[in-house]
Amino acid sequence: MDREPAALISTITAFLTAGIGLALAFGLKISQEQQDAMLKMLAATVALLLMIGPVIRSFVYSPHSTQTLVDTAEQAGQTNSPAPPVVP
């Protein structure tokens, strides 16, 4: 996961979403309206992750990727070229 920080967030969200769905499937005692609302929220969450996943990945630099780019530039003798931002 150190190479894909956005994947970690998506994975955690997916597990939480699946856990709620599983609780509902095993008979969590809530009203039908609450159950419908939760299932709609789960569907919206999954759709949102699928839509914004590629956008998030385009803005996230992992420390491993950044270091690889810096090392490659140094080996090519391009030490004056700016490196991508380092995410703390």
pLDDT for 7:
72
What is the C-alpha separation between 88 and 86, in angstroms, rounded?
6
0.75 cut: is pTM over it? no
Q: What are the boundaries of each domain within the chain?
A: 5-60
Res. 22: pLDDT tops 80: yes
| Residue-wise pLDDT tens digits, 50-87 | 788 777 777 777 777 778 878 887 787 766 656 666 76
Closest CA to 4 of 47, 48, 49, 65: 65
Closest CA to 61 of 14, 6, 10: 6
